[in-house]
Every structure is written in structure tokens, then in C-alpha cells.
Structure 1
């Protein structure tokens, strides 16, 4: 699966250069390019990405200030013409710091750090069949295969399982990163569903047990493709 990339830079030529690099990289997908931090905040309220290529010096808010404002930041690679910002970037746990102008090989080296880290995380997730969550003052063991779907509930998420449901203070993005990608799919900004528990699909709805879960209009084609794949017999 390709990693979704958002490019944020107030310089059109810098955006175009990064777009070209992303298009040359088979495992990357360019989602959007934006020119300001404010646009980025609004975009990320509605969309999920894997990698944020972020310029530091921008007119309305610096990239550093933008990153500090996130409660749940995506993986960030800073891009800037100013070397003096490098230390600030690494203190914020960014993946890498690209000093303009940079080559495609240097760009690829930065991106490969994310790919290697993701591979390690996926192997680690595949090796375990449960997670621990905090709920009602207790630490509870939840088996991954028992999770039917997860939904947001204001600042919390509610984890539905075949036996019970649990409310815990964590973001949907964070729990998504802890679960194996081959077993769960994001179908909406508010929902993550367990593939093995899907009973049927109807239009923009997924049925899991007695629950009807809405599929985002933007994600509908991707969701259908991921769920059905080459297992469909007949004609849609």
C-alpha cells in the first residue's frame, strides 16, 4: 500500500520539486500540496496522511509552530533553506531534515527511514495478538481478533469487541498505528473496522453485527477494493 504524502511549502517551485520526487517513488502517493500552515490544519481535520513534507519558514505560522500545535502529528520530514533550524526539528522527533536544495537520492534516504521503521512496526504488530488499554482505572487486555470496530467519542475512542466495549483516552490514529494493517481498515474519519467481522456492504454502509457504520464518500472506492479485492463472485 502506498504512503500518502502531503506537501506544505509557501514556495511554488519547492512544492513542484517535491511533487516530482514523490511521483518518481513507487511506494509514495501525492495527496495534496498546500501553501500555508492554516490550510494544513484545516486539511488534516478531514484527512489522514502518512508523511508530511513541511517547510519551516512560512508567512502565517512556521512549520515548527505548526508541528508543536498537533496533538497527534503525522510523520514529518522538514524541508528548509536554513540549516540553523535543524536542531529544533530533531528535538520535535521529526524523521529527517532536508536542506534545500536537495537531490532525489537525499530525498529517498529520508523517506526510506520511514519505510524501515514501518516494516519493524508491522513485524512487531504481527507477532502479538493483543493490546493493553486503560479503561475505568484498570489496565485491560484486549485480543486483536476480537475487535469488531473502533469509533471516536469526543476525546476518547470506543473499542467494540465480540464480548464487550471499552472507552479509553487515546486517538483513533494512535490505535490504528498499533493494529496490524492487514486486519483493519479506516472507513471514515470516525471509524476503524475489523475486516474479518464485516457481515455485508450496502451502498455507503458496512454492517458489523447489529451496527451500521458509514463509509466516507472519499474513501468508498478504496474501502470496497480493500474489503472485496478479488474475492467477489458475480457482477457489481
Structure 2
């Protein structure tokens, strides 16, 4: 299953001094075709994470239209969470769970009886076959992000949303993790919506957009 999205005329305002609204995002248009990997780059504070949250359905769209498709058929926004995965800069792993149970958690919440077996398979795929029972606090930053990638892909999502997934990693580990994430996406034909400061990573994707002063422009 593969998810695509089309964003039309998105405007998002935030309250500033004296409750005066500021347009953080202004009349944005964006298309992520099914199976494509798209990056958004821009300065800190430009609204990249807010845009990602809106696209992922984590925040309501104030003005504009977000259309989703699943294998070429319309997908209600309310169903997006069932077909998406997330990779965050801060990993967002549960410290009380070991690696395999962190990965299995999305499946367990859905009642999947094979959650642990599928989690084990994905840990093996990301190179952590000897870390299944490790507390995540005992893992390196790169290993923790590999656990997070496995968790994002274990439910076979149609799209993965990634917010600065290499931001807390050293250069070599960032290279290894980004290569792994893109390999997983392309092997499963999973769409990717990536926020990053890493220009080298962004250039590996199908399209790169630059967010500046609330507007998106396609980088050539």
C-alpha cells in the first residue's frame, strides 16, 4: 500500500504579540505522488515541523485542502494514522521497554498476535539482530534511531513522515541512518515526507522544496 498527498492553498497562522495573527505558512501547494520521497528544507523557525504536523494530520488544517490517496483511491484523513509511520529527531522511544517491544508497540496496539515476530524481523533488517532485548537507554544514538526506523516501518505504512531524523547524530552515523531509511522506503515503495537540514540527504530524494517566508519553492 502506498499513500500520496496533495496540498492546496494551505495557510496556517499563529498568535504573536497582543494576539495578532502571523501567517507562518501562506497559500502553500505541494504534491507527494504515491511512492515518491520528498524533502523540505529551510531555516530553523521557518515552519517546517508545523507543515509536517499538518500533513501528517497531527494538527488541524486552518485553511486549505489536504487530499490523500491510497493505491490510487481517496483516503479519508481520519484513516491516515493507520497507514503512516513516524521518525523523529528525538527518537521518542519508551525507556521502560526494550528494543523489540518498542518496535512491536504499534502492532500490539492494533491487536496483532504476531507483533513480536514482525518486530524481530524489522530489527534484523536494520542491523540490530543482537539488540532485541536491550534497554533502549543502553543503545547508542544511531542504534536508537535504527529502532525508531524499524518501529516506523513495522506496520507496513504507505507513507513515512520524518522530522530531522539525523539531527542528533554524528556525520557518519547520520549517513548510515539516512541510507538505511531511504533503502527501507524504496524497497517497500513507501512514500516519504522528510524535514531536514541535511542538504546531502535531501538531494538523494525525488524532489526538494525550500520553505522561506511561508512559501514553498521547488529546488532545481
TM-score scaled by structure 1? 0.30
Work out which structure has the larger RCO, using CA pairs closer than 8 Å and 6 or more positions apart in sequence: 2
User: Which has the greater radius of gyration?
Assistant: 1
TM-score scaled by structure 2? 0.31
